[in-house]
Structure formats: C-alpha cells, structure tokens
Amino acid sequence: MSNKKILILGSNGFIGKNLKQNLKKIYNNENYDCIYVSRTVADIKNHDELERVMLKERPNIIIHACGLVGSSLLNKEKNEYDTFNENILITSNILDCANQFKVDKLILFSTYRMFGDDIRENYDETDIGMNKETHIKNNFGYLLSKKMQNIQMELFMKSQNQTKVVCLIMPNIFGENDCFIPNGRIVPSIFYKILNAKEKGENILIDGSPKNQVNLIYVGDIIKMVETFIEQKREEHIGNVIIFNKSGTLEVGELANKIAKIVGYNNSIYFNETTKYNSTNIMKPNLAKMNQVFPGVEFSEIDDLLKKVYLNDILFKKCANQQN
C-alpha cells in the first residue's frame, strides 16, 4: 500500500518553513510523504501549473499556506487590487484542484482581523459568515481576500462532500523563520524596533495604545493542530475554527516590556495613541469549537518562546549578517 501524500503549498513562507521543519520529523515515514511547493516550483495562481503539480503528485492532503500577506516583504510592491486578486485566484485554483483530484483533506489559514475593529464579547465562528459586514482599516486587499476565502470555502463545502476542510483562524502568530521588519507581525516588529533602537541608543515609539490587547500563538502549536487534523477521521466538514490561547493575552505595553527585558534594552518606550493602530478588540471568544475539534489542546509558554525566538532566530541572523 502506497504512502499518503501531503502537499504543502507556500513552503518558503513563515508557516510553510515551520511546516517543513516540523512535519518532516513525523510524516516522512512509512505512512506519509511530504511534498513542498514554493513559488519557484510552481505559480499557484496559474491553474495549469497547479494542475501539473497535482497530476504528478496526486496528494491526499493539501495545506494551503501560500499567497500574499499584509506583512510580507514580497508584498511591498503590490497594490491592494493585486493582493486581493492574486489571493482569490490562488484559493480558487486550490479548491478547484482539490475537488478535481478528490483530495481527502484541505487545511486553510486565516486571520482574526477578518472580524474587523469592533468585536462583541463571546464572538464565535458565525461572526464572519457570508452575510456579516466587517469594517477594515488597514491591509484592505489582503483582509478582503481572506473574507473572500471564507465565502469560497463555505460554497465549496456546500457543493461537495469528498474533501473535508478546516480553516484555522489565528490571532498574533509568532515563531522562528519570521520576517523581522518594522511593519510585520507584532512580535517580530517589536523585536525589530527595540533592537534597532538599542543599537542606536535611542528611545522607541510604538503606534497604538499600550493597553491594546494581543493574543499570541506560537507557530509550533499551530503545527500540532495541523498534525491532529491530518490524523483525525472525519465524516463531516469542519470549516472555520477560532484558535485562541487563554494564557497568551497580553497588553501591547506588557509585550514590549517583555521583549525589552529579553534583549537588554534600557531606554524609554513611548506609544503614539492617536494612530490608526488603536483598537478596542475584545479578546474573549467562544472556544467551544476549538475544544471540540482539538480536544485537550495545550499552548506553549509565551515567555520561554519569546526568549527562544530571540536566541535561536534573531541572534543567529544578526551574526550571519555580520559575517557576510
């Protein structure tokens, strides 16, 4: 009996690189083979190229970790329309090929920011349904493409019963292999700003209120959920699942102070509370579905992981740059 095949699309992105490092430890064995596809291997927004990959590999499971994201360095030259259009083309092609080749499982990823800027307490997966309006301020093309992905996924699930779909809706994900840039995800962005200020001996200004809440999820914990879904026997679709770490909710000011302590930054941290990054999001979702789909889910300890990312990822890259 031949091995099942897991096709990871977007294997050079943040999530893709972590999938590559972690899944191969478990799934390149007698039961599974992992196939990693980056944009250098195939242009997934071109249906023919994706179909060529599918014909060659015949995967049982697809992990969709590709596309243009708001914080991507590759996205800096793209306008909002290009970002939106490319992302919905990619998702359309993946869904079409998953149906055409009768894939067993499809794993998608999305972002909390689809909920918009005003979230009621105890919100759940139904709050991003097809009939829900969302007020979006920043990265409009990217976030609108994620809302469109949600519509595409819902229609796909209604149209067929072969491919079982899950979409992990994630808050502030962080971990190794990230892009440490000033306007990226919140953890690497604060690391970048504080390290840059430390090197120059300057104070630091962070946009937004220090009281804004963030919920941190380590990328390794997301990989564990992917592994769980791969192993589960499913007779029904899952669709959206809100992923939330109860012990990972911090105020931005608290997060900045933790990172400053880790890197040994002793200057002052100020906040520009008049910026567009001010938010009143309530970090209190209903987690019934997460607990049902991923029973016994456990999240890694945030403080230890922030130190690990700094020591293993940032310092390594800094030393490598200095040697080149």
Q: Which of 60-74, 120-134, 209-223 has the lowest mean pLDDT?
A: 120-134
Global pTM exceeds 0.85: yes
Q: Which residues of 182-216 are buried (b: 16+ CB within 10 A; e: fewer)?
A: eebbbbbbbbbbbbebbeeeeebebbbbbebbbbb
Give pLDDT, residue 92.
97
* Percentage with pLDDT > 70 across the chain: 84
**Tens digit of each residue's pLDDT (9 = 90 or more) over 27-77:** 556 678 889 998 888 999 999 999 999 999 999 999 999 988 755 444 555
- Measured CA to CA, the distance from residue 213 to residue 278 in angstroms comes to 10
Length of the chain: 324
Residue 276 has pLDDT above 60, yes or no: no
Residue 324 has pLDDT above 50, yes or no: no
* Residue 37 bridge partners (DSSP): 9
Residue 320 has pLDDT above 50, yes or no: no
**CA nearest neighbour of 130 among 151, 113, 157:** 151
Rg value, the chain, Cα: 20
pLDDT band at 180 (very low <50, low <70, confident <90, very high): confident
- Measured CA to CA, the distance from residue 91 to residue 67 in angstroms comes to 9
Give pLDDT, residue 132.
56
Q: What CATH topology corresponds to 4-175+215-249+282-300? A: Rossmann fold (3.40.50)
Beta strands 213-218 and 249-251, pairing class: antiparallel
Give pLDDT, residue 25.
61
Q: Which of 175-179, 199-203, 263-267 has the lowest mean pLDDT?
A: 175-179
